[in-house]
Amino acid sequence: MLDLKIYEEKMEKAIDVLKREFSGLRTGRASTSLLDPISVEAYGSKVPLNQVSNISVPESRLLIVQVWDDSLVNTVENSIRNSNLGLNPMIEGSLIRIPIPELSEERRIEIVKIASKYSEDSKVSIRNIRRDAMEKIKSLEKNKEISQDESFKFSDEVQNMTKILIEKIDTLFADKEKDILRV
């Protein structure tokens, strides 16, 4: 028999990835997730920044990175500076202060375009999962493992699931767009 839960879980994972990608987009307010993509060369390998430090948000426009190992402070600072996030970290002992600059209108529009691309990629992923599910349904019907009525029922369920999740992506994007464009 066909278990549609498998396809639903795959679609939900695509939405989780989208949420994670959105959390890394800068909106002009400080967020610890802003530094998630940054890796640091430490102890002979690349490690995520949050594995060598504690990141906090004491104010809406300031991030504080408390590096645990004093020998890594300069490496962490360089990783943040070279991350293409447009951040200018300042070292104070084992603390690194990162003021979050105001976003220009052009930069906000650029970030909205990136968010739009992320949401389109998620929609494509969900549609690919739908296609796989539909192919599976057709093959089961062709091999007489399910009836034509069951095939129609499963196809409708997959289509409904897809429609609901695509609408969810549109809502997430609309919310993120408002967040980014809010001055």
Strand partners, 39: 48
Tell which CATH classification among 1.10.10.10, 1.20.1260.10, 3.30.479.20, 3.30.1360.40 matches the domain 32-99: 3.30.1360.40
Lowest-confidence range among 36-40, 64-68, 95-99, 171-175? Answer: 36-40
Same-fold call for 4-23+104-181 versus 32-99:
no
- Report pLDDT for 122: 95
For 31-44, how does the pLDDT look when each residue is reduced to its tens digit (9 = 90+)? 787 887 788 988 88
CATH of domain 4-23+104-181: 1.10.132.20
Q: What is the mean pLDDT of the chain?
A: 88
pLDDT tier for residue 183 given thresholds of 50, 70 and 90: low
* Among 111, 131, 151, residue whose Cα is nearest residue 29: 111
Instruction: Enumerate the domain spans of the chain.
Output: 4-23+104-181, 32-99
Inter-residue contact 63 to 56 (CB < 8 Å): yes
Report yes or no on whether pTM surpasses 0.85. no
For 63-89, how does the pLDDT look when each residue is reduced to its tens digit (9 = 90+)? 999 999 888 899 999 988 887 677 889
- Report pLDDT for 28: 67
Cβ-based neighbour number of residue 139 at 10 Å: 11
pLDDT at 121 over 90: yes
